[in-house]
Copies of this chain bind each other. A is one copy, B any other.
C-alpha cells in the first residue's frame, strides 16, 4: 500500500463513453459501485465500453437475477458457522447503530458481488476464446427487472488507501496479503469505513478460513457454476480476442487477459468473504438470501 497506486480509472475521474458505461453498468446491474476489475481494465484501450455493450442486454434479465441468487447460496463455506463477532465488537464499543451500517453495506455488496462474478466470468471466458453466452433458451418475453438501485440499498463509500490512517492502511494490506491479492478490493475498501469491524472480521471471521482447502473447493464450485450460467446467457456477453482487437492493441489484449484472470479469482474470494461476514452476524439463511429480491 505504501508504493504506487494500481492504475485504474475511478468513477469520479471517468469521462465520456467510459463514464456512461460505468453509470449504465451500475443501473443495469442495480449495484452501487463499479467493480475494481472494470476500473483497472479501463486503462486498456476501449475494452470496458465495448465489453459492457456486449454484456448489457444479457445482464438486464431475470435470468441473471436468478443466477446471481443461486451463486450466493453456493458461497457458504462448509462446516460450522463463524464465531459470532458481536460480543467482541460490543466490548470494543461497536454498537448497534454501527452494526446497522455494516449490515446495510454487506447487503449491497452481497447483492452485487455475485452479479460481478457472472460479468467477469463472461468477460474472462470470452477473452480466452470460449463460449460466453448464447446457449440458453431464454424467455425473452419475461419482463426485465427494474433498472437502477433497489429501494433501500445503501450508497457505498470506498475508503482511499492513500488517504486514510496508517492503522486502516495496515488492515487493508492485511486483507490483501491474506488472499494473495495485489491490492484492496472494493469490498474491503467499503468495510474500512468501520475499522473495528474490519479488524474483528479479519481476525475471527475470515483469517481462519481464507485460502484453506474448503475455501478453495468453494471457490472452485462457484467458478464452475458461474461458467455454466454464463454459457446459458441469451447472447455472448464478452469479447473474443478478435473482437477485442477492434478496440485494443495486441498488448492490451494480453494485459486484459491477465487482469480478467486475476480479478475473477479476486471476486470469487470477496464473494465468499462478504457472505461469511453476513453469516457471522445474522446466520446462514440470512447470508444467502437475496438482499433485494426481484418480485
Contact = CB atoms under 8 A, between A and B. Distances in A.
A14 interface: no
Contacts of A223: 180
A128 interface: yes
Contacts of A240: 3
A211 to B, nearest CB: 7
A252 to B, nearest CB: 8
Nearest to A220: B216
Contacts of A261: 182, 258, 261-262, 265
A193 interface: no
Given A182-B127, A261-B265, A254 B3 contact: no
A241 B177 contact: no
Contact of A180 (B44, B128, B181, B241): B128
Interface residues of A, number: 45
10 contacts: A1-B129, A43-B251, A44-B251, A127-B182, A128-B181, A128-B182, A213-B220, A251-B255, A255-B259, A257-B258
A257 B253 contact: no
A53 interface: no
B3 A257 contact: no
Taken together, the copies of this chain in the complex come to: 2
A130 interface: yes
A246 to B, nearest CB: 11
A40 interface: yes
A89 B211 CA distance: 39
B3 A43 contact: no
Nearest to A40: B254
Contacts of A183: 128
A81 interface: no
Contacts of A256: 258
A245 interface: yes
A250 B4 contact: yes
Contacts of A224: 211
Given A6-B257, A262-B261, A177 B130 contact: yes
A213 B245 CA distance: 35
A242 B4 contact: yes
A240 to B, nearest CB: 6
Interface string A247-277: 0001101111111111101000000000000
Nearest to A252: B255
Given A182-B127, A258-B258, A258-B261, A253 B4 contact: yes
